[in-house]
Amino acid sequence: MAASPGRRQTWLTRLTRRSHKQPIGQDVTDERDQKPPSVEFPRRRLLYGRRKGHTLRAHHDNLMEVLLPQIQVPENGPLDDPKTLFDDAAKEVWLEIGFGGGEHLAAQAVAHPMVGLIGCEPFVNGVAKLLSEVEERGLSNVRIHPNDARDVLERLGDASIARAFLLFPDPWHKKRHHKRRFVSAETLDELARVMVDGGEFRVATDIKHYCRWTLREIRDHGLFTWTAEKPSDWRVRGTDWPGTRYEA
């Protein structure tokens, strides 16, 4: 979606996971490809703010108590093959990091019934909204982790995720808070490990300086390639990229 007068530009960034066999510079490739299968994040910092907003409606409360346990990602244990989380055989699995109100994830689940979607979101009200979408649309291909996405990342098996989304994350504007941004060497290491070769990592923001910062971090990391070749590649939304409530 291109910006219109009076609206802020949204940057829609598509990146692909480089092949594990593709040379990037011998020192970078060797160091990252020789990492152990999974890495626990040291001294984990909170990457999100409040956990709950307004009081949940009675129906949402009921969904949290009844439906969430049925479709929640297990809290412990390895997730070597996340396809097994889904009752129907999923051809591939996608991961959304911080799904907000769940509009994007629900739309993708409807459009791709043979894809299993894992959504991570610590904000209780957002989880309740997605549960409502799951119930109303009868979605069987959604699984939810109502907490920090890193809990799931570090347990996923190598090359088990075909597509990942990070849409309108908190930019943490103040410099002293930049360490709370999701994109970091550690999280990119884990994303690169769990994504298949050629897998797509989609990032969206309407904060220009955050877009630049994120692209620089990803470029320096070395295991993802920005696929844009012309301005329309990051200005214009594709038909397979549903909108969210966070867009200006």
SS3 177: helix
Assigned token pair, 208: 């220009």
Alpha carbon distances (Å) from 213 to 1, 172, 182, 217: 22, 12, 12, 6
Which one-letter amino acid corresponds to residue 81?
D
Please pick, among 30, 80, 88, 170, the residue that the annotation labels catalytic: 170
CA 58 to chain centre: 29
Q: What is the rounded CA–CA span in Å between residue 144 and residue 96?
A: 10
Q: In what order do the strands lie in the sheet with 161-167?
A: 142-145, 115-120, 92-97, 161-167, 195-205, 11-17, 224-226
- Would you call 61 a catalytic residue per the annotation? no
Catalytic residues: 170
